[in-house]
Structure 1
Amino acid sequence: MERRVVITGLGALTPIGGTTAETWNSAKAGICGIGEITLYDTSNQKVHIAGEVKNFQPETYIDKREARKMDRYAQLAVAAAEQAFQDSGLSMEQENPFRCSVIVSSGIGGLGTIENEHARGEQKGFDRVSPYFIPMSISNMGAAHIAIRHGFRGMVTCPVTACAGGTNAIGDAFRMIQGGYSDVVLCGGAESSITPLGMGGFTSMKALAESNDPNRASIPFDKERSGFVMGEGAGMVVLESLEHALARGAKIHGEIVGYGSTCDAYHITAPDPDGRAAQECMRQAIENAGINPEEISYINAHGTSTPLNDKCETTAVKAVFGEHAKKLMISSTKSMTGHLLGASGAVEVILTALALRDSFVPPTINYQVPDEDCDLDIVPNTGRQAALRYALSNSLGFGGHNASLILKRWEEN
């Protein structure tokens, strides 16, 4: 028999908050976390704005000497994981560490370290780069640091599926617990790619909005949208089997009930215009949850603010939900955070869980110009109270990677 899977810990560092509570309060209030880039000098580049994590002090969570051996993405991962672990109330003295796993995604890993050490190699010779260059830059190290810190000795793995990574990490963790392979999984995503090379690469491929007005750059579903805004941050959740959580008297934030994952197999960056694989992904999640599409009230959309994505996602939602699509509330919290790449899905799952808990749908902010191709209820500009029981979170990544999770408001029965 498949086991029920519940969320017992939440941790987030995002452009709109340094904790889960701050992030959720900002999302409810429709606060924009996008602003001038401060992490480096942007004067020689087209794009000058992004969604940075503000006032992040790694030493709050990590010994100063250890922090110097970590890329910023790994620091963010460890910090969010620490928040989630503390929120969960887990005590490793009471756990079998081989039944505790870690699944953490990063789309790019330690890009800032790669850039800095390449510059150092050019100046001093490549045999004189930092001995920590490799363990700082590789994409599995966020997960490794979390496992080392908390003593989780079960499977530790790292899906790298671009913008779908955080959702895949949580979905894969859901299946691990559902199938009985782990009792506890600390999972999510972390990213820090607001660097000259990262921003230049996305600018060169015409993926980023080149507007430097924070209020008119990340504008999902708006007819004037022209690309996404880069964000950074980390989102982590602790998942447990319901039996395990109840046995230790854990506080439960919500339940995950369905997961779907597909691939467009179409293009390296562009979504399939028909959205067939995105449709199938949502259908798989609904079938896995054992519910009817009409039972879903809210979708946290991938909603990147690119011309193709928002149109294709709208088309896919209409195909899956039919007439019910008109009754759905669909918002993109990327309007506030920007696009956190491999961390985005994890942060959005956290926001979806809290939307269910508080019966409140966060808005799509800075929406001004309606688009006939994106004509669903995107909860424009102001969030709203609403009775919610089931919600869906979508992530659609470069390479055609699609992932959908269905969450349920926590009910003991």
Structure 2
Amino acid sequence: MDAEDVAALLSPTGQELLRALPPYDPGSALAQGERLRAAGHPAALVAAALTQARLRERARPKLGERAAGLLLTPDGVEQATRALVAERHARRYAAAGLRHVADLGCGIGADALALLDAGLGVTAVDADPVTAAVAAANLAGHPGARVRCADVTAPGVVADAVGADGGAWFDPARRSGGRRVFDPESTSPPLSFVLDVAARVAATGAKLAPGVPHDALPPEVAGRGTEAQWTSVDGDVVECALWCGPLARPGVRRGAALAVTGPDGASTWHEVDDTAPSTTGVGAVGEVLYEPDGAVIRAGLVGAVAAEVGGRLLDPTIAYVTADGAVPTPLARGYAVEHVMPFGLKPLRAWLRAHGVGRLVVKKRGTAVEPEVLRRQLRLEGTAEATVVLTRVAGRQSVLVVRPLPSRTARGGRAALEG
């Protein structure tokens, strides 16, 4: 999308066309485009409008029903913060007593909208003219919003956007040439710039990639503490948020926040942090295997799961927990352990064939075995389905045949360890 597309979509004709479009259907989009052009709509406007319909449908799981009224860009949808996560970001700033936040690298304005919903004033800044124009359209009608097209690293831009006593929020661009960027110093702006701003603007937060190394996150900036919180939504790790100064919780260095969607569609949040009890003991496989949520693993809090369920680690280097009974926890998925054996293709094939297994779910951690290769080598032909976990138990390559627990409180059982 370019500036002409934005202008056309924001024109009265463009707005009327967008409102008239039905929900996007890839199967009928081509025919719909032909009908609109035949009705006299300019081809460029039709293409831009249908692109918006497609992007809005793609953004709906992230942004909810609000997506239907936003202007969007492909990169903006990709990087936009999910609405329920952006809402939690905004609450941090409001709870810290902030009245105004500079959204530095605002993209399409997803975080800015959440900040405005929380009653905060926002100055949204983006270096790309088209993206800034899209953000301005999305924030139009909010008296507390101001949008600037500027490079946040240019002298004076941050100071002007933050004001005398505001806070700063960064969502650095993590894509270059269509590819993800994993090095925090290769994002735009780099993490070092974010930390430099945090040394001057006490209330600074930043959305970082989930895989950011722990050693890249300083324990404090300018004598003020920091908190890194990894967030997952229904098991998908979506970010690591770095909170500085008054936005960080006292005494918390690392944490995990998990959003779980219930049958009614509502999300419930669960949190754990490094102030929770933790255990790093290693022991034998018990009746239940726990697979901690990805955010918990990223935050280095597997030991907190072990403490919560009264369990132990399978191996000091593996993020699996085992216990002698099932304990309800939102921090991990539980599996009843039905059989344990040392890893070996022949004994595994024999066990699975003896139990009529033809469909196999393979989970792995701490092994180089590729699930697809293993399935081909096993040559299973039965009708039953099974789940196996390939991992290390006290340093030994092992296979655990497991069954997903139907509930958080169901109990499991297993065969005795063989070999």
Q: Same fold (TM over 0.5)?
A: no
Q: Which has the higher strand share?
A: 2
Please indicate the TM-score interval, normalised by the length of the shorter structure: under 0.3
Q: TM-score, normalised on structure 1? A: 0.27
**Higher relative contact order (CA closer than 8 Å, sequence separation 6+):** 1
Determine which structure has more spread, i.e. the larger CA radius of gyration: 2
